[in-house]
């Protein structure tokens, strides 16, 4: 299996290459390309790979523009972070779509799907329209309507310092120090909160850059984050998530 990786973040590209080689020991990684221009040039001057893994957002633009410049006949597995409806659209159209950070079992499923489609000679559909739908800016939550006394009140997301889960209940820790329980699960909040503002540190925490007091190394390549308003809470970022957290902070 000959695979081309199109990815502009070196950490993601290295991880994807390693996972592909673990899952498909006999595969041949043809190259790692990080721009639209270089991808078009490579595909124009080389035989088609069997499979392309492609990030939506590249160093010089959106990868859907590649399909406007050249005809791609091989299968494509997309990698990036968009809303769940877009993911469903890809799966319905027989093109897989992996959320970052990419999980090994999800990649394995995508490769199995690819091999199954190849054996059945299933035609890969035209995905340009789907891609254009995907790049629409998602709408994130602006406020929460919460119960207050015998009624309700609105809490702006801008007033939330961090979010944590405790005893299966999600809680907003406000910049004022007030704690408010909300009915949304952490998984639902992952779709609703802007990932540019809130980072899913682990199963229990969403944090924002300005809520962080310090970041220190922890054992086994993990990171330990101390929060300004609640320094006693321990926020541990896993070894797998640590590189993505560093990228998120360093921009």
What integer pLDDT is reported at residue 71 of this predicted model? 86
Helices (H), the chain: 10-23, 36-45, 66-69, 84-92, 104-119, 128-134, 186-192, 242-249
What integer pLDDT is reported at residue 75 of this predicted model? 85
Same domain, yes or no: 25 and 118:
yes
CATH number at residue 186: 2.40.50.40
Q: Is the pTM here over 0.75, yes or no?
A: no
What integer pLDDT is reported at residue 9 of this predicted model? 87
What integer pLDDT is reported at residue 173 of this predicted model? 96
Instruction: Return the ∠ at Cα 98 (arms to 250 and 221), rounded to 5°.
Output: 45
Of 89, 109, 134, the domain-final residue: 134
- Return phi, psi of residue 216, to 5°: -135, 155
Q: What is the domain range of residue 162?
A: 143-249
Same domain, yes or no: 110 and 12:
yes
What integer pLDDT is reported at residue 158 of this predicted model? 93
What integer pLDDT is reported at residue 94 of this predicted model? 41
Low-confidence residues of the chain: pLDDT under 50: 84-85, 88-89, 91-94
Beta strand 51-55 with 75-80 is: parallel
CATH number at residue 104: 3.40.50.2300
Same domain, yes or no: 185 and 212:
yes
d(C-alpha 194, C-alpha 101), whole Å: 17
Same domain, yes or no: 15 and 122:
yes
What integer pLDDT is reported at residue 46 of this predicted model? 95
Contact 160, 149 (CB under 8 A): no
Same domain, yes or no: 171 and 105:
no
**pLDDT one-digit tens code per residue, 109-139:** 889 888 887 776 655 555 555 555 555 556 7
Same domain, yes or no: 126 and 147:
no
């Amino acid at each position: 299996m000959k695979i081309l990786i199109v990815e502009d973040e070196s950490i993601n590209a290295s991880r994807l290459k390693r996972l592909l080689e673990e899952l498909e020991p006999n595969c041949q990684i043809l190259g790692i390309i990080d721009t639209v221009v270089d991808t078009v040039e490579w595909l124009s001057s080389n035989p088609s790979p069997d499979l392309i893994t492609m990030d939506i957002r590249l160093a010089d633009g959106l990868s859907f523009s590649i399909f406007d410049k050249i005809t791609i006949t091989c299968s494509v597995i997309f990698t990036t972070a968009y809303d769940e409806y877009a993911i469903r659209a890809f799966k319905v159209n027989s093109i897989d779509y992996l959320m970052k950070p990419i999980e090994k079992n999800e990649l394995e499923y995508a490769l199995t799907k690819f091999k199954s489609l190849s054996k059945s000679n299933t035609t890969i559909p035209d995905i340009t329209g789907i891609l254009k739908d995907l790049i629409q800016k998602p709408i994130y939550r602006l406020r929460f309507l919460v119960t207050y006394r015998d009624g309700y009140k609105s809490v702006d997301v801008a007033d939330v310092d961090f979010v944590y889960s405790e005893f299966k209940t999600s809680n907003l820790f406000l910049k004022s120090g007030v704690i408010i329980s909300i009915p949304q699960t952490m998984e639902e909040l992952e779709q609703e909160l802007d990932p540019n503002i809130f980072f899913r540190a682990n199963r229990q925490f969403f944090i924002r850059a300005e809520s962080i007091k310090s970041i220190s190394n922890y054992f086994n390549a993990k990171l330990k984050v101390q929060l300004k308003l609640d320094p006693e809470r321990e926020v541990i970022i896993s070894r797998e998530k640590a590189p993505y957290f560093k990228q998120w902070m360093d921009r």
